[in-house]
Chains A and B, each alone.
Chain A
């Protein structure tokens, strides 16, 4: 058997393979550039509506459920926190009451608490185009 035009086909195949497997090897090549995400301890005495692990995995579903409850059903019943306190169903005046605290150190450098993690996993959230990030105002008052 003879391979005609091998000079073109073989390099072509190699380029094709490199392109197809791009997602698998690019991570290895750029491993040094990727920052590892550092989880920060929650400020003392503050608990969320679910344990941390569940919040990580399910917060998006919870937020959507609360959104529909407040906007479409007009039901503003506050939600219970793990420690028995209640929280207003509002991004700016509920979640951010804890998550944009001024003593949260490194969060200052970011628009919000959320951006930190979402940047790391490459997800763009558009909540903050409308909902107000209270962080700049908190910083201004200082």
Chain B
């Protein structure tokens, strides 16, 4: 029988590991079928980078309220009378509360007090995705921070992590809310008690070639939605030709919802 002493064993192991490393370095990067499929799907162009622009001159009051109710109706979001149970995908908030760093005493009161639309920012660097222990929240290649409700265990780490308050917890069974008892949209599921939910940039509508429901309802380009990786898209143009701000940029979450202050002429 061949005897292998300790020294030879170590030599063989080292050679084996070095050999494996060499093989992996030589093989092309896209060995896994998943990676291959994804690059093939978007081979003709760069992956999309969905983003939204909220025009502060146009989107407030009645128009903003219409967006909120359109979204909540479409996605079967329950309405609870108690504020502590509130579930929201898109909502109105005072400018000074959305942008505390940009607000000051002597700014126009009409702007400071103006109710502005807020929604999930679909951050390029999303803290909610980082903290999710089950990967129920994940970032899609097109930038949408999506949720897989099948995986959500309701730990609410994401609620704690999100600096924008964009996430809500289902404390009660949504089907028992008065609004969902009477009217339910068959195009989109409800959620169950004990999961977190938030805006999904209407991923299901984008897949069907439609615009997000809030954008569709807003009209008059009060909300603009598109692909930031496409130089010809309207969002790219608007952002390049005006002055827009984002919520809490100093946190480096890289939000993809932009608030247009003024379009330059």
Contacts and interface: CB of A to CB of B under 8 A. Distances in A.
Interface of A: 67, 71-72, 74-76, 91-93, 126, 129-132, 134, 137
Interface residues of B, number: 22
Interface stretch (B78-86, B100-108, B161-169, B184-192): B184-192
Given A132-B190, A137-B186, 11 more contacts: A67-B150, A72-B138, A74-B142, A76-B208, A91-B189, A92-B186, A93-B187, A129-B175, A130-B191, A132-B76, A132-B184
B203 A130 contact: no
B12 interface: no
Most buried by B among A75, A76, A130: A130
B218 interface: no
B140 interface: yes
Top 5 A-B pairs ranked by shortest CB distance? A76-B207, A129-B192, A130-B189, A131-B189, A71-B148
Interface of B: 41, 76, 138, 140, 142, 144, 146, 148-150, 173, 175, 184, 186-187, 189-192, 203, 207-208
Contacts of B191: 130
Contacts of A67: 150
B168 to A, nearest CB: 15
Nearest to B203: A74
A67 B136 CA distance: 13
Contacts of B144: 74
Contact of B146 (A71, A126, A130): A71
Contacts of A74: 140, 142, 144, 146, 203, 207
Contacts of B173: 129
A137 B142 CA distance: 35
Contacts of B142: 74
22 contacts: A71-B150, A72-B148, A74-B140, A74-B142, A74-B144, A74-B203, A74-B207, A76-B208, A91-B189, A92-B186, A93-B186, A93-B187, A129-B192, A130-B190, A130-B191, A131-B189, A132-B184, A132-B186, A132-B189, A134-B186, A137-B184, A137-B186
Contacts of B184: 132, 137
Contacts of A71: 146, 148, 150
Contacts of A91: 189
B187 to A, nearest CB: 7
Contacts of A131: 189
A134 B187 CA distance: 10
A76 B140 CA distance: 14
A130 B192 contact: yes
Contacts of B41: 75
Contacts of A137: 184, 186
A80 to B, nearest CB: 18
A40 B41 CA distance: 41
A75 B140 CA distance: 11
Most buried by A among B150, B191, B208: B150
Nearest to A92: B186
Contacts of B149: 130
